[in-house]
């Protein structure tokens, strides 16, 4: 964490759904901007990071 938060341009909030998808199952995104109702908060950033960490761990365990 370093303390910034993002704001989608008007009408462009769907970009968050795009960022939630990993790239080639190798690059994962996490942070306040993907925290659903907790966007723009530290709590949301943490929950997003934990959720993505679980996603990565599950993917590694399946290999």
Ligand X SMILES: Cc1cc2nc3c(=O)[nH]c(=O)nc-3n(C[C@H](O)[C@H](O)[C@H](O)COP(=O)(O)OP(=O)(O)OC[C@H]3O[C@@H](n4cnc5c(N)ncnc54)[C@H](O)[C@@H]3O)c2cc1C
**Does residue 29 interact with ligand X by CB under 6 A?**
no
Beta strands in 1-63 (DSSP E): none
**Euclidean distance between CA atoms 33 and 39, whole angstroms:** 5
Asked if 19 and 26 touch (Cβ cutoff 8 Å), the reply is: no
Number of residues counted as binding ligand X (CB under 6 A): 12
Q: Which of 7, 8, 42, 53 binds ligand X (CB under 6 A)?
A: 42
Tokens matching residue 25: 């199952």
- Nearest position to ligand X, beta carbon: 31
What is the contact surface with ligand X in residues (CB under 6 A)?
1-5, 31-32, 40-43, 45
């Amino acid at each position: 964490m370093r303390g910034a938060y993002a704001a989608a341009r008007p009408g462009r909030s769907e970009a968050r759904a795009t960022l939630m998808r990993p790239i080639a199952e190798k690059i994962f995104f996490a942070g306040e901007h993907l925290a659903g109702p907790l966007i723009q908060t530290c709590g949301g950033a943490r929950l997003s990071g934990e959720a993505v960490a679980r996603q990565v761990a599950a993917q590694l365990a399946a290999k």
